[in-house]
Structure 1
Amino acid sequence: MYQVKKIARSEFVPIRNLTYHVQVWGEPAPHKTPLVMVHGWMDVAASYQFVVDAFAQDHYIIAPDWRGYGKTSSGPVDNYWFPDYLADLDFLLDHYAPQQQVNLVGHSLGGNVVMIYAGVRPERIRRLVNLEGFGMPATTPDQAPARYAQWMNELKKLHQGEMELKSYDSAAGVARRLMKTNPRLGADKANWLATHWAQENADGTWSILGQAAHKISNAQLYRVEEVLAIYQRISMPVLAVEASDNSLEMWWKGKFTLAQYHERMKSVPNVQIGRIEDAGHMMHHDQPEVLAAMIESFIA
């Protein structure tokens, strides 16, 4: 089992009628800029543990479980809206850093959230690190009718119990699932992650700590023009980190490419692209020491 070096404490914070679970490492201090780290789709805040352990310096780190993930209950909702992540983050910063800027890190879904947030509230961020928050393929208005229909059809499937997440016979089963998804993930990390990524049920099975409603497609189209207009307002330095494995090719099969993503990033006034070798999309698991050094160098 992976041996944790820096122990997190759990805090529960009232955010927009929800009780948000937040992992906190270190203590606040006048000389410290809070380091806020937000996770991706079907992940949890504890996923950053390996990076936190690899940091050479003493940081004050704040990492929430997004609504409907981990120990943050979302209530009886049947789908999730992207703007809610922006507002949740805004309220979270009101709580932890009301009078100061933060260094902000986001992975995947969380990377998309922090990029949009940075263009909406640029004054709140000192440095921004985007870990493969690529965005989505461009859309055209004529796709809207089918998208709304898809959204409603998926909602019906959810309510009919057709979109439930798979359960596992044991924590070891969860760990095997994690290693199957990410072949670079060692058994020690997988076994540790499994107990934070899932929880045991009364019957002894294990369920993922993520709501099935997260699988519902967004009813609204991804509008690249709006995204680029927001990107242009990102005033702080940005580090956009990519893994050597091309996840975009795997996900979108040519509908959205790394070259197109790089073209979009030209709208960000002050951005540098970083790359981590021998890593996939879960770079914070694959190469935590390399990623930790990149983040610390950038926010120094």
Structure 2
Amino acid sequence: MKASHCEQLDIRGLRYNVRHWGATDAPVVFFLHGWMDSSATFQFVVDALQQEWHVIAPDWRGYGQSEWIHRPYWFPDYYGDLDALLAHYSPDRPARLVGHSMGAAISSPYAGVRPERVQQLVMMDFLGLTATDEADAPGQLSAWLDNLRKEQPTRSYLDHETFARRLMLVNPRLTAEQAAFLARNVTRTLPDGQLTMGGDPWHKVPSPLRYQARDVMAAWRGIKAPVLMLIADKGYVTERFADDPAEIDRRLACFADMRRVTITGSGHNLQHDQPEQVAAAIEGFLGRD
């Protein structure tokens, strides 16, 4: 496996963990992980890259080895964090962004409202959430208020082997080697020595606000950068809009310059399931300095 190293950085008052692969003088590309995940999730894709890149992958606030706040998270903070990360690592030139799932949910609206800061964008198995109903709004707010009064439970695992078996049960496409690597690198050790997934359990508390698909789509229409859309054939995009395939086309139409590639034999975590396909598609799309 290609070696990585991490550095700690202050981002908007929180300690951020940022992982690096590759030579510092190689072309830079930012890899942005998804919900309840962390930067190490991209190891298999990085291993499959054929060209030399400097891959910069943060653990988002409340994930991995970045600081956990142990209270509700406000999603717009991630836009601010991305803006600060790019100001630090790429202050003088637009950036290449590769976002998986929540990473794409953060980077794609950002690319629409700060088009001068993004050179190219790769979205991995994310095309927004399904539309919500206004009748659901009071219940969401009520549930959020109820959760504020609770201690959020942490699911723990006895050791790395137990967690690896759990990962393979959830995703049978994982090899034993992949599961063992993820068990060592996407977990956090608890005070009693057991392990938990590397994400603050407060992330599992639903937002008090409805997801507004039209607002996100309006931001996508502002993207000037070329966009590569990687859609897993058995992933969330395919499942989410299975009853309304025309909605996929409607959302894809928001992007002025878009290329679509289907990743075959893959679930939502295409960076684990088909890293060679993903790496080939990314390198076929990204321009180099």
Normalised-by-shorter TM-score class: over 0.9
Q: CA offsets per residue over residues 25-58 of structure 1, 9 Å max, x none?
A: 12333xx442000000111100101100110011
Report how far residue 262 of structure 1 moved: 3.0
Q: How far, CA to CA, are the matches of 1:224 and 1:238 in structure 2?
A: 19
Give TM-score, length-normalised by structure 1: 0.91
Q: How far, CA to CA, are the matches of 1:188 and 1:124 in structure 2?
A: 37
From 256, 273, 285, the equivalent of 2:260 is 273
Residues 1:295 and 2:282 aligned together: yes
Q: CA offsets per residue over residues 89-125 of structure 1, 9 Å max, x none?
A: 1000011010011110000111111111110111111
Q: Percent identity?
A: 39
Give TM-score, length-normalised by structure 2: 0.94
How many residues are paired up? 287
Q: Give the match's secondary structure for 1:105.
A: strand
Alignment match, 2:232: 243
Q: CA offsets per residue over residues 220-260 of structure 1, 9 Å max, x none?
A: 11112211211110011001101110424656885xx5542
Structure 1 gaps, min length 5: none
Alignment match, 1:129: 122
Q: In structure 2, do the counterparts of structure 1 residues 238 and 250 end up closer, same or farther at CA, with 3 Å as the change threshold?
A: closer
Q: Contact 2:140–2:210 (CA<8 Å) still a contact in 1?
A: yes
Alignment match, 1:9: 5
Report how far residue 143 of structure 1 moved: 3.0
Residues 1:51 and 2:55 aligned together: no
From 194, 201, 211, the equivalent of 1:212 is 201
Aligned amino acid, residue 258 of structure 2: V
Alignment match, 2:101: 108
Alignment match, 1:26: 22
Equivalent residues in 2 for 1:139-218, closer than 5 Å: 139-156=132-149, 159=150, 161=151, 163-218=152-207
Q: In structure 2, do the counterparts of structure 1 residues 230 and 202 end up closer, same or farther at CA, with 3 Å as the change threshold?
A: closer
Aligned amino acid, residue 195 of structure 2: W
Q: CA offsets per residue over residues 186-234 of structure 1, 9 Å max, x none?
A: 1101001101111333433212211110001111111122112111100
Q: How far, CA to CA, are the matches of 1:99 and 1:219 in structure 2?
A: 37
Aligned amino acid, residue 230 of structure 2: V
Report how far residue 144 of structure 1 moved: 2.1
Aligned amino acid, residue 136 of structure 1: L
Structure 2 gaps, min length 5: none
From 29, 32, 47, the equivalent of 1:35 is 29
Q: In structure 2, do the counterparts of structure 1 residues 196 and 258 end up closer, same or farther at CA, with 3 Å as the change threshold?
A: farther
Residues 1:85 and 2:78 aligned together: yes
Q: How far, CA to CA, are the matches of 1:250 and 1:183 in structure 2?
A: 18
Q: How far, CA to CA, are the matches of 2:237 and 2:271 in structure 1?
A: 18
Q: Contact 2:161–2:183 (CA<8 Å) still a contact in 1?
A: yes
Alignment match, 2:270: 283
Q: Contact 2:96–2:120 (CA<8 Å) still a contact in 1?
A: yes
Give runs of ≥4 in structure 1 deviating > 4 Å: 248-254
Q: How far, CA to CA, are the matches of 1:230 and 1:248 in structure 2?
A: 19
Q: How far, CA to CA, are the matches of 2:33 and 2:245 in structure 1?
A: 21
Aligned amino acid, residue 259 of structure 2: Q
Q: How far, CA to CA, are the matches of 2:63 and 2:212 in structure 1?
A: 26
Q: In structure 2, do the counterparts of structure 1 residues 282 and 234 end up closer, same or farther at CA, with 3 Å as the change threshold?
A: same
Q: How far, CA to CA, are the matches of 2:78 and 2:265 in structure 1?
A: 31
Q: How far, CA to CA, are the matches of 2:181 and 2:237 in structure 1?
A: 28
Q: Contact 2:131–2:212 (CA<8 Å) still a contact in 1?
A: yes
Q: Contact 1:248–1:258 (CA<8 Å) still a contact in 2?
A: no
Q: Give the match's secondary structure for 1:274.
A: strand
Residues 1:68 and 2:57 aligned together: no
Q: CA offsets per residue over residues 269-291 of structure 1, 9 Å max, x none?
A: 11121101111111000111111
Q: Give the match's secondary structure for 2:172.
A: coil
RMSD, aligned CA: 1.7
Equivalent residues in 2 for 1:220-259, closer than 5 Å: 220-248=209-237, 250=239, 257-259=244-246
Aligned amino acid, residue 46 of structure 1: A
Q: Give the match's secondary structure for 2:230.
A: strand
